Amino acid sequence: MSRMPSAYTILLDSGSTSTSGWWWVGDFRLLTMSFSSRGSLGPSRLTVEGSNADGFQSALPAATAAASLISGVNLIGVTPGMVTFDPPGYRWARVTVAPAAQSTASSLTVIAAGNYA
Beta-strand pair 6-12/107-115: antiparallel
Q: Is the dihedral of CA 56, 58, 61, 66 positive or negative?
A: negative
Quickly name the fold that domain 6-115 has: Jelly Rolls (2.60.120)
User: Given its phi and psi angles, is residue 94 left (phi above 0), alpha (psi -120 to 50 degrees) or beta?
Assistant: beta
pLDDT tens sequence across 26-69: 888 888 888 887 766 666 788 898 888 888 888 887 776 678 88
For residues 12 and 108, the answer to whether their CB atoms sit within 8 Å is yes
Whether 14 has a pLDDT exceeding 50, the answer reads yes
pLDDT tens sequence across 16-27: 678 888 988 888
Q: DSSP code of 3?
A: P
pLDDT tens sequence across 77-112: 667 888 888 766 788 898 888 766 655 556 778 888
**The whole model's pTM is what?**
0.79
